Amino acid sequence: MAAVALGEVQGRTHALAVGSTEPWLGRYWLRRYVERRRLFLDVLDKPAWNHPLVREYLPPDTAREAAAIWHEREVFLSAVEAAPLCLCHNDLHPGNLFAEGLTTVLIDWGFVGAGHAGEDVGNLIFDAMLDFFVAPGDFEDLQDALTEGYLEGLANSPEVDIDIVRRSIWASGAVKYFWIPLSMVDAVEQGRTMVNRRPLQEAFAVWAQVVPKIFEFARRLQ
């Protein structure tokens, strides 16, 4: 229901996103977010890749796949930006979603901006698991429900190419979260005991199941 409602609403905000000159309405949020993750590339040549915890949870080609998304980030960002402009929440995860009867309520609009159809869905799919709201074993069901519900909500919007929006979802999920496995290695390198408010190994056990899905989304763009 939430995904359908999001599609319906974002399909009606195209004109607002195109025509607004309000200084408070941010633009290119995803591009700025991705560029700020450049710092995680420093971990690519760190000894922590040989740590037993990293070797247990991350496959040997993890560094190569994460770096490849970074180096091809313009391809992914361009795929997102090929989708129609709309009003984006930019921090859409289950903690910001509430049901009020048959109505979906979305809170915390601090990052609101003009973005592109599919961005918020790509965010929600991965944040639901990385923030421990949904078990990684439910990934396929979640991505199908959110993607198809969102596209259903967009269906009545004029001039929306569903295939382009679907590719935007894949691209946004991949490029926004390429740094997750690098952050896992960085946590070991820094000697941290917690990741995202969870004990290190507990977080690794969940995140390690999500990492291949990030790379899978990237390969769908090929």
Number of CB atoms found within 10 A of residue 63's CB: 19
SS3 23: coil
- C-beta of residue 31 within 8 angstroms of C-beta of residue 175: no
| CB of 152 closer than 8 Å to CB of 7 | yes
Task: Give the pLDDT score at 117.
Answer: 97
Residue 161's pLDDT band, with cuts at 50, 70 and 90, is: very high
Residue 117 in contact with residue 168, Cβ under 8 Å? yes
Domains and CATH numbers, the chain: 2-105+112-219 (3.90.1200.10)
177-217 pLDDT, tens digit per residue, is 999 999 999 999 999 999 999 999 999 999 999 999 999 99
pLDDT higher than threshold 90 for residue 139: yes
> How many C-beta atoms lie closer than 10 Å to residue 23's C-beta?
6
Average pLDDT over residues 2-28: 86
Whether residue 220 contacts residue 168, with contact meaning beta carbons closer than 8 Å, is answered with: no
Of 74, 95, 57, nearest in space to 181 by CA = 57
Q: How many Cβ atoms from other residues are within 10 Å of residue 182's Cβ?
A: 23
Q: Tell me, what's the pLDDT at 154?
A: 95
> pTM of the prediction?
0.96
Query: Residue range 72-90: average pLDDT?
Result: 96
The pair of three-digit structure tokens given for residue 222, joined into one six-digit string: 């090929």
